[in-house]
Structure 1
Amino acid sequence: MLRDANPRELDQIVVENVLAFDAGFWVRLAARIDLCKSDDDKKDYEELAENVMNIVDRLIHKTDQKIEQSTDVLKAIISPAMHEGDVKWPPRDPDTIKLMEKEISRREQEGQLDEGFLSEVSAQLRQAKQDGDKPGLQAMLQKVLQLYASRSIQKRSYAYKDVKDYTSISFLSTFSLFSGGQVVVPEKFLESIVQAPENEWNKVLLDGLTVGKGDVAPDDLYTVINKRIERVVIRTEGGSYQQRVLVEYLKEIQTRAEEVVKVLQGPTI
C-alpha cells in the first residue's frame, strides 16, 4: 500500500498510522530491500524509506513545536502565581486568580487552548502527582484546568428548557417564571456553581440546596449534572483531553455537593 501510494496519499497514510512506524517497521523494510531481486525494486523501496522518514521527521518537528507553544501558553497563564521561578500556592494576592482567568480568556480567543495545551497541562499534572513533593504546583495546575472547564461550560446555558426534557426532576423545584419565560431551577443552580470560584462552592451549595437554605433537591442537582455530562460527551471528541477535563470538572461538582449534603444531613442510622 505504501509503495503504490502517490505523495499525497503517502503523507496521509503516514500521519494516520504514525505509531506503526517503529523500529520493527524499519527492520522489516530493510529486510525487504535486501531481498529485492532487481535494482529498480531496490531503488523504489529505498526512495519509499526516505520519503516515509522525511514525513515522520516533519511530524516530530511539528509536534515538538506544538509542545513548545503549549508550554509557553501554560507559562503565561500561571505567571501571576510564580515568584522568582517558584510556585506560590495558594496565592497571597487575591488578584492572582483573576489575572490567570484573564490570560485564559485571551489565549482562548486566540485559539491556543486546544488539545495540545490540555495535553501539556495534564502531563505536567501527572508528573507533579507522581513526584509528590510539589503540592503547590499540583494545586495550581488543577486550578488551570478548573478555570478552563468553567469557562468552557459557561458558553452554553440550559436554564431555559421544555418540561418534557426534565421528566426525572421533581416538578415543584424545576420551573419558575422569569422574564415571561420558564427557568429550569436546577440547571440555573448548576450554572451558578460553575460561575462561582471553586473555594466558594460550599457556600453556593449551602444556599441553594434544600438540605441548606435553598429550593433545589440534591437529586435534582445530580440529575442535571449527569445530563450536562451527557451533553459534553456528545459534543466533544471521544477520548479527547477536552472531554476528560470537562467531565471530571462536572463530577467534581457532584462530589462536592454529595459531601455537603452528607455533612448537613448528619450521620445516618
Structure 2
Amino acid sequence: MDRLIDMLRDANPREKDYEELAENVMNIVDRVVHKTDEKIEQSTDVLKAIISPVMNEGEDGMWPPRNPEALKLMEKEISNREKEGQLDESFLSEVNAQLRQAKDEVDKPGLQVMLQKVLQLYASNFLRKRSYAYKGGEVVVPEKFLESIIEAPENDWNRLLLDGLTVGKGDVSPEEFYAVTKKRIERILIRTEGGSYQQRVLVEYIKEIQARAEEIVNRLQGPAV
C-alpha cells in the first residue's frame, strides 16, 4: 500500500495510468460503501417490521407481549420476508449487532429476549422446510419427533419433550434423540456456508433444543454417570 502511494505521488502528470487507477479504485470503494449502507438500512427496516407487533405495545417492547397474537404476527412476517429473499446474511448480521447492543442496555430487558426470539423464529422457519422424517416410505420416529419440536413455539418444548421421550410418556429414548440432533447439526454444517451467521443461528437453535432435552432427562433420571 505504501509503495502504491509513493508511485501515485511521484507519477508524471502526463502518465495518467496511476491517476486513472486511483480514480477507479475510489469509485469502486464509494459504490461498495453506498451499497453496504443501503443494505444495512434495508435490513434494519426488515427487523423493525418483524418486531413491530411487540414494539407497537410501547414500553420499549415488553416481553412477553401482552397481545397473545403478537408472536404469531412476528412469525408470519418472518415467513413473508423469507419468501421475498430479505432474510439474508445482512439481516442476520443486523439482528446480532442489535442483540449485542441490547445486552448492554440494562433498562431494556425485553429487547434482548425479543431479538433472541427473532433468531429462533428464523431458524424454525428455515429448518422446517426440509424433512428427514421419512426413509423408504417408513417414518423415522426420532427425526419426526425432532421436527415436531423444531416447528413448535419454545414455550411448548418442555411439554413435547415430556410427551415424546421415554423418560416421560413417549417412545424415543434420550440416546436416539441426541443422535438425531447431532445428525441435524452435521447436515446444517454441510449445507450452509462455514462461519456464516446463518450457520451459527441454525446450529445454536438445534443446540438449544438438545440442551432443553438434556435438562429434562437429567431432572427425571439424574445425570449420566
TM-score normalised by L of structure 1:
0.79
Equivalent-residue separation in structure 2 for 1:88 and 1:75 (angstroms):
15
Q: Kindly report which structure 2 residues correspond to 1:1-269, keeping only aligned pairs within 5 A, or say none.
A: 25=1, 28-36=3-11, 38-41=12-15, 43-82=16-55, 83-84=57-58, 86-161=60-135, 181-266=137-222
Equivalent-residue separation in structure 2 for 1:115 and 1:249 (angstroms):
17
CA contact (8 A) 1:154 1:191 kept: yes
Runs of 4+ in 1 over 3 A off after TM superposition: 38-41, 130-133, 266-269
CA contact (8 A) 2:181 2:206 kept: yes
Equivalent-residue separation in structure 2 for 1:226 and 1:266 (angstroms):
21
CA contact (8 A) 1:150 1:194 kept: yes
Identity within the alignment, %: 73
Equivalent-residue separation in structure 2 for 1:85 and 1:53 (angstroms):
45
1:145-167 CA distance string (max 9 Å, x none) = 000100100001101125xxxxx
For the pair shown, the structure with the greater C-alpha radius of gyration is 1
Offset of 1:28 from its aligned partner? 4.3
What is the root-mean-square deviation of aligned Cα atoms in Å?
Answer: 1.6
Q: Which residue type is aligned with residue 112 of structure 1?
A: Q
Equivalent-residue separation in structure 1 for 2:41 and 2:8 (angstroms):
37
Q: Which residue type is aligned with residue 198 of structure 2?
A: Q
TM-score normalised by L of structure 2:
0.94
1:28-67 CA distance string (max 9 Å, x none) = 433222233x4444x2112111110110010000000000
Q: Which residue type is aligned with residue 52 of structure 1?
A: V
Runs of 5+ consecutive residues of structure 1 not aligned to the other structure: 1-24, 163-180
Equivalent-residue separation in structure 2 for 1:256 and 1:187 (angstroms):
17
Offset of 1:240 from its aligned partner? 1.0
Runs of 5+ consecutive residues of structure 2 not aligned to the other structure: none
Larger RCO of the pair (alpha carbons < 8 Å, separation 6+): 2
Equivalent-residue separation in structure 2 for 1:65 and 1:151 (angstroms):
26
Aligned length: 224
Offset of 1:86 from its aligned partner? 1.6
Find the residue that maps to 2:139 and give its secondary structure: strand
CA contact (8 A) 1:29 1:49 kept: no
Offset of 1:73 from its aligned partner? 0.4
Deviates more, 1:76-85 or 1:209-218: 76-85
Find the residue that maps to 1:87 and give its secondary structure: coil
